Amino acid sequence: MHNFQMNINEYLPLRDVVFYTLRQAILKGELEPGERLMEMQLAEQLGVSRTPIREAIRKLELEGLVLMIPRRGAIVAKITEKDLRDVLEVRSSLERLSTELACERIKDETIAELRQAQEAFKEALDGDDITLQAQRDVEFHDVIYKATGNLRLIQMLNNLREQMYRYRLEYLKYDLAHQTLIEEHEAIIEAISKRDKETATNIIVRHVYNQELTVMKKIQADEDIPSKK
């Protein structure tokens, strides 16, 4: 039996509350890669029927966080090298485009907002709430996306965010990466504020690559560890 519990939200349907609870448990590692998701056990733990559990598992499968295996049922998806590369290849291209457009279109007040987002991110890194750190990192990048003024691009980046979140958490678990993140964010702000496309895009590509490199090492280190049955 796991320790995570469901936080009731009066503004959300029960199925969504169950979905977010299980999703968070996977992202935080409370439900581990390779672990089976037993509907009856989860329903008992969260105090709900099996129906919202089943619906949540279907949504988690669509996000790539859960796999349906014949004769085994639902299991938590492992983080694979190919999945990581596929997601970060797309992210790198979209981040480069968004940074170029931000350099062209960003306003002074948005630069100030970007600096505020950076301060909030640094403050979160001083604590030990990794989900808050990830949220503040997302908010920093969201300011850049907003500066593009391109709603289609923003939508694509938002769709990718869910697939990125798991890798973002894994990266943030490395305390040694925190200073690198701070320095890269600062350099991004500086380059964008100067409307220096070449420097800004070089930094953002390196920013994504450093994440890929770090998480890839963890995947390779963990690949021989047997998963839970």
> 69: which strand partners?
73
- 3-state secondary structure at position 40: helix
**pLDDT (0 to 100) of residue 28:** 76
pTM of this prediction? 0.80
Please name which of 136, 115, 139, 116 lies closest in space to residue 178, comparing C-alpha atoms: 136
* Segment-wise mean pLDDT, segments of 10 residues, the chain, 229 residues: 71 88 86 92 93 94 88 89 91 97 97 98 95 94 97 93 84 93 98 98 96 89 58
3-state helix, strand, coil in the chain (%, to 5): 70, 5, 25
All structural domains of the chain, each given as residue ranges with its CATH number in brackets, are 14-76 (1.10.10.10), 81-222 (1.20.120.530)
The answer to whether 17 touches 6, Cβ cutoff 8 Å, is yes
Would you state the pLDDT for residue 10? Answer: 64
Rounded CA gap, 178 and 122, in Å? 9
